[in-house]
Chains A and B, each alone.
Chain A
């Protein structure tokens, strides 16, 4: 069976920006079906059966996550659509919001219904100005036409959706930091327990899902869980958006089943390497936070489980391709500069460790490295990872450890040659 693109089917069709245009291609059929034919629990069960896993990075089963949210309690339940897409190398949610805002909204609305939530939030990255405007226009049209508010689409289900803009912090993509930010507080992650399902925003049970995750929901409801599980492979079902950036001819977002390999993604879909004669040297498969793969490791299938087995992660599926002109020390320095800048500074290992890694790598890249620096990078990564309040520390540590493990010779060369060997080569 040929793979059918669903998430990106409306990309490039500006008609779907309007409600009429979106309904013209079958939009809001799933929402109507859920409201009229299914109970919230049945929607949840269908999502559970589909095996949909979170597309934001952790890959946790969405239906199971919904199951954690208590129903019928004293406090209202909130749903947050996490559109704070900030992981370096990742730009898939942006595509959905810019080209198919009603799909994003429909997914949010069905999920809210499943969770018996009457007020859903979409927290959108502050830098996504155009996407915000498009999404806001779609939301405004929905409000004006009775798709939101009291008794939506003739049902007895009430729902409000509010779009909240971030202020430019990577950390606010972490779910509890996002909640603090949404409440108007300093964007720093919360200590768990309590977990968001127990106490999220405004002291109430809260469920938070990635934008791409929720965009899958209308298709699961309309076509059924069996359709979804028929795509990809077991435990890694459904369509997936892959981002590719870096040294390729055709960077972009590609909707594919999770049976594709890294090599296929780079060579067949992303148009191959940018400069002939400069083959791929390294590939980060899942956004900047995941361990890097070497050129000889790229036959791995880009599913959650296959990549985990290969010692890395699917993460946000933000693939970053680097050719042989790339200095791995400099690439890691660049990444650690990012984590140093984005660490909220709340807990000790991340606050101090990210800055230390950044300084050390800058010194190493600039020729001031010593032999002891190389094992120290790995040790610092070990001392950060698993000791922080949120996964930002892990995200800074994982690429550092992998870079040193896989390109140790290059790190050593920076010490022995007192500088970057590649920079010399490029300059010469």
Chain B
């Protein structure tokens, strides 16, 4: 019986390696920078061994030191490692087999690269460069199939470009369990398709586009939008829910072109939901706050910040409302601002409204539609902030107990009625609003400070599992807007707490040093995959590991 910790020693291209006894040759090769081309293999899906591109020469070392080679090349994706196994991935026989297989893959492929969206990330194209014949020996008529087949709300299928690797089918069978896709017909007429009247319409359908190694599956929302090489990328975290899927932001001209998942085995593997993938239109809708305003009048930042500080100070005990989309740094700074502006002796008053919708599912989606509730809750607890609802705070304003409210990211009118908000401001409540978009709250705001929103924000967030992850800005906020951290650092600094020059990473290190839940963490330690909150602060999430 194989055992997870047992090790075996094998040789790949002369390199001797001690590896997990349950691994396959391809897994070992990939982990050790030995390049073996493949199409159908995917680390999170079953192994069908159908593309045949990853064949290698395999043998076993005999007692006399000689190597007994197997008579046929073996697909490395399904070749278990074994003690004394010898693998050759570069001999002429293997290279020739790769060329021959590429020839087969290309004979019925339309070779329509100039009009194909996959260009730049097409595996067929890539392997054709390294193992293509360059000239065709195929004199026959190609097999023709349907193109531009609408198979679901987000995905379009070109059957001629498909190489039948079945990654999309296995995704729907094994990950979502929805099985919308299947192979139909046989031989070189084999095609991927949906069943009549059963579209590819599950909450994760966009992933089939990511894992399609060729241009057969394309995302309607990205088709013909841009050639890849015109796009810049930033590694970030999806703000769409408490999962915090690791994503790559592809952007151009300060706009999101597409969002794709980044592999994180602990959080989202290499998947993301369609809601997150198609977040851009929601973010880009509406009117941005273009410049700082004091009582409706555009002012420069200096004046707006000074005015905000003076009003906060004048109130004696300002309260705050913070949207759980805010980063840890924004939350930390908002608390510092409230503390520094208040007279002391009484706890800070802070509302952290819930944004929930639907239910948790068994894959990625969380009902909590905010990326950092858990992180902000930890900060509030650490600073002994008194929590209150927005309605509560507005009631206090009407009762004359509250005269200034720092609003970060929230539109209060989505939480309470506009009448209630109007009553509070009529009673003299001054709203210091840090906001990205114009809304009822900015219209009612005494001071409005234009802020950035994902993907313009650098910072850290804590997902529902207690994993601290780094969000990276793709581009700066538009117009005169600045990031929330930039704005709040300056407010805190003017109130005598900290320097204006603190960067988000400095702020993270500062809060990590002061908040017990983050003990021992530093920004530098977070790395690409993030860190789980240490010690007791990290409860094991109810749903266990990611599906």
Contacts and interface: CB of A to CB of B under 8 A. Distances in A.
A100 interface: no
A386 interface: yes
B411 interface: no
Given A345-B187, A348-B50, A383 B72 contact: no
Contacts of B143: 355
Contact of A186 (B53, B80, B182): B182
B104 A348 contact: yes
A353 B106 CA distance: 11
B102 to A, nearest CB: 9
A181 to B, nearest CB: 13
Residue in A347, A352, A360, A363 whose Cβ sees the most chain B Cβ within 10 Å? A352
Interface in A308-360: 340-349, 351-356, 359-360
Closest 5 CB pairs of A and B: A345-B190, A359-B140, A355-B188, A352-B104, A383-B100
**Chain A CB within 10 Å — which of B49, B51, B143 has the most?**
B49
Contact of A191 (B78, B141, B185): B78
A363 B140 CA distance: 8
Given A340-B187, A354-B188, A383-B100, A346 B105 contact: no
B160 interface: no
B183 to A, nearest CB: 6
Nearest to A347: B50
B104 A353 contact: yes
A387 B187 contact: no
Interface in A147-193: 169, 186, 188, 191, 193
A388 interface: yes
Contacts of A193: 78, 80
Interface string B46-65: 01111111010000000000
Given A186-B183, A191-B48, A387 B105 contact: no
A385 to B, nearest CB: 9
A389 interface: yes
B73 interface: yes
A58 interface: no
A273 B328 CA distance: 91
A34 B75 CA distance: 43
Q: Which of A186, A355, A388 has the most chain B CB atoms inside 10 A of its CB?
A: A355
A1 interface: no
Contacts of A136: none
Contacts, number: 102
Nearest to B190: A345
Interface in B56-88: 71-73, 75, 78, 80
Given A193-B80, A345-B164, 10 more contacts: A191-B47, A191-B49, A343-B186, A348-B105, A351-B187, A352-B104, A352-B108, A354-B187, A376-B137, A386-B71
A346 to B, nearest CB: 5
Given A346-B164, A383-B103, A387-B55, A352 B49 contact: no
B101 interface: yes
A193 B2 CA distance: 15
Contacts of B479: none
30 contacts: A186-B183, A191-B48, A191-B50, A193-B78, A342-B187, A343-B187, A345-B183, A345-B185, A345-B186, A345-B189, A346-B183, A347-B49, A347-B50, A348-B50, A348-B53, A348-B101, A348-B164, A349-B52, A351-B104, A351-B190, A352-B107, A352-B108, A356-B104, A359-B141, A360-B140, A363-B140, A383-B103, A386-B72, A387-B97, A387-B101
A205 to B, nearest CB: 16
Contacts of A347: 49-52
B139 A360 contact: yes
Most buried by A among B51, B108, B182, B188: B188
Nearest to A382: B100
A383 B80 contact: no
A372 interface: yes
Contacts of A11: none
Given A191-B48, A191-B49, A345-B188, A351 B164 contact: yes
B437 to A, nearest CB: 51
A356 B138 contact: yes
Nearest to B77: A191
Interface of A: 169, 186, 188, 191, 193, 340-349, 351-356, 359-360, 363, 370, 372-373, 376, 383, 386-389
Contacts of A186: 182-183
Interface string B154-186: 000000000110000000000000000011011
Contacts of B50: 191, 346-348, 389
A37 B51 CA distance: 51
Nearest to A355: B188
B474 to A, nearest CB: 39
Nearest to A354: B187
A349 B99 CA distance: 12
Q: In this complex, which of A340, A351, A389 has the most chain B Cβ atoms within 10 angstroms of its Cβ? A: A351
Contacts of A355: 108, 143, 187-188
Interface string B178-215: 00001101111110000000000000000000000000
Nearest to A373: B139
Contacts of A372: 137
Nearest to A385: B72
A373 B188 CA distance: 20
B186 A344 contact: yes
Contacts of B71: 386
Contacts of B53: 348
Contacts of A341: 186-187
Nearest to B48: A191
B187 A349 contact: no
Nearest to B185: A345
Contact of A349 (B47, B80, B101): B101
A352 B188 contact: yes
A356 B107 contact: yes
Nearest to B165: A348
Nearest to B183: A186
B127 to A, nearest CB: 12
B434 to A, nearest CB: 57
Contacts of B185: 345
A93 to B, nearest CB: 24
Nearest to A344: B186
A397 to B, nearest CB: 12
Interface in B373-417: none
Nearest to B55: A387
Interface in B87-131: 97, 100-101, 103-105, 107-108
Nearest to A350: B187
Contacts of B186: 169, 341-345
B110 to A, nearest CB: 14
A388 B52 contact: yes
Contacts of A388: 52
A58 to B, nearest CB: 15
Contacts of B104: 348-349, 351-353, 356, 383
Given A186-B183, A383-B100, A383-B103, A389 B49 contact: yes
Nearest to B102: A348
Interface in B502-518: none
Contacts of A370: 139
B51 A363 contact: no
A186 B193 CA distance: 14
Greatest chain A CB density within 10 A among B49, B50, B190 is at: B50
A236 to B, nearest CB: 23
A354 B186 CA distance: 12
Nearest to B188: A355
A234 B169 CA distance: 50
Contacts of A343: 186-188
Contacts of A344: 186-187, 190
A377 to B, nearest CB: 11
B500 to A, nearest CB: 61
B172 to A, nearest CB: 14
Nearest to B97: A387
A369 to B, nearest CB: 10
